[in-house]
Amino acid sequence: MAFEDIPGQDDTARRLRATLQRDRLPHAFLFVGSTGTGRAAMARELAQVVLCEGKDRPDDCCGRCDSCLLFARGAHPDYGEVGLPEGRQSLPIKTIRRVQRSAALKPVRAARRVFVIRDVERMSIEAANCFLKTLEEPPGRCFFVLIASSLRRLPETIVSRCRVVRFANLALEVLQRRLEADGVQPDDARWLARRAWGSPGLADGLKEADLHAFNRELVERLRELSVDDNFTLSDWFSRKATENAVSAAESRDALQELLECVAAYYRDLALSAAGGTDPAEPFNGAPEDGITEPAAGVPPDAFVERAELVLEAIERIGGNAQRRLALDDLFTQLGWLSRGAT
């Protein structure tokens, strides 16, 4: 059955099948979710169902007709798919105009033409305005599936003219198993899955940045933190943030990501210090690993204060404060607090 092989999206698949069964297909869907959640795969399967000429039921394709065979070979004349060109930062207007020209043609063999447009949140202003005209006056025999990672960068005029379908992040256990299948050690896979909040794309990015290895060393350093470590830690964070960055903006984003690991560590300690019969699961290992031992005998507010200092530093850096000064200030304060509270 269509859509059943896309993990973690059972509810989305049921809604799409119900729409097909009622024959209430809109002129445009907008699939929104994190990279790796199956948006593109779902869009392609939906396109094949729409184009299928031999289906026995409206919510599935036969896989045997000429249309399905052409689609499987990537040669169906009524299907088009575009996305962000390699090396480009935005989806250009010429790509959208190419889709519009094709959409204006009559279908070759199917009842309608189908277009999948990826990375729509990266459309230039000109491209967005150009495509808006197509959504306002859609060709009668066309169906569009737009794919975006977020609605924040999309004009409301485009969002309002599509039926939005949200893709959930994966369950943490599912993502952890996927990472382990890719060769990541279980402890690292568990941390990456939690740190990425179930987003496969974010987890892959963190893995490529080797953030799990950085976090292991970070936890050890924070457990022994003193005020004398302030400049050493600032140097370390500054180096790590610029290792793979190709621009000042990327370096800033990387630094904020590294500091989020610090905030997560103090969050774990605050939760451990608060205790309770059903404590929240920590980011950094299981309780029996001893990572939260520094929380013993310390009030939870002491660690909440440190986490808040980290979040303030992240905000300052996001506001283009002098990064080295923000780091020196942060680790000096954390060092003094660690000496006084543990």
The structural domains of the chain, with segments of one domain joined by +, span 10-166, 209-341
Structural contact between residues 33 and 18, judged by C-beta atoms closer than 8 angstroms: no
User: Could you give the C-alpha distances from 275 to 136, 279, 289, in angstroms and in order?
Assistant: 56, 6, 16
HEC readout, the chain? CCCCCCCCCHHHHHHHHHHHHCCCCCCEEEEECCCCCCHHHHHHHHHHHHHCCCCCCCCCCCCCCHHHHHHHCCCCCCEEEECCCCCCCCECHHHHHHHHHHHCCCCCCCCCEEEEECCHHHECHHHHHHHHHHHHCCCCCEEEEEEECCCCCCCHHHHCCCEEEECCCCCHHHHHHHHHHCCCCHHHHHHHHHHCCCCHHHHHHHHHCCHHHHHHHHHHHHHCCCHHHHHHHHHHHHHHHHCCCCCHHHHHHHHHHHHHHHHHHHHHHHHHHHCCCCCCCCCCCCHHHCCCHHHCCCCHHHHHHHHHHHHHHHHHHHCCCCHHHHHHHHHHHHHHHHHHHC
Distances (CA, A) of 296 to 7, 31, 281, 329: 40, 46, 17, 26
User: Which residues, other chains included, contact 217 with Cβ-Cβ below 8 Å and sequence gap of 6+?
Assistant: none
The confidence score (pLDDT) of residue 341 equals 52
So what's the pLDDT on residue 308?
Answer: 96
- 246 exposure class (CB count in 10 Å sphere: 0-12, 13-18, 19+): exposed
Pick the CATH number of 209-341 from 3.30.70, 1.20.272, 1.10.540, 3.30.420: 1.20.272
User: CA-to-CA distance for 280 and 260, rounded, in angstroms?
Assistant: 18
Residue type, 7: P
Among 43, 48, 78, which Cα is nearest to 62's? Answer: 48
- pLDDT per residue of the chain (342 residues) written in tens, 0 to 9: 788 888 889 999 999 999 999 998 999 999 999 999 999 999 999 999 999 999 999 999 999 999 999 999 999 999 999 999 988 889 999 999 999 999 999 999 999 999 999 999 999 999 999 999 999 998 889 999 999 999 988 999 999 999 999 999 999 999 999 999 999 999 899 999 998 989 998 999 899 989 999 999 999 999 888 888 889 999 999 999 998 787 888 899 999 999 999 999 999 888 888 875 455 677 876 555 556 667 677 899 999 999 999 999 999 998 888 999 999 999 999 999 887 554
Architecture per CATH, 10-166: 3-Layer(aba) Sandwich (3.40)
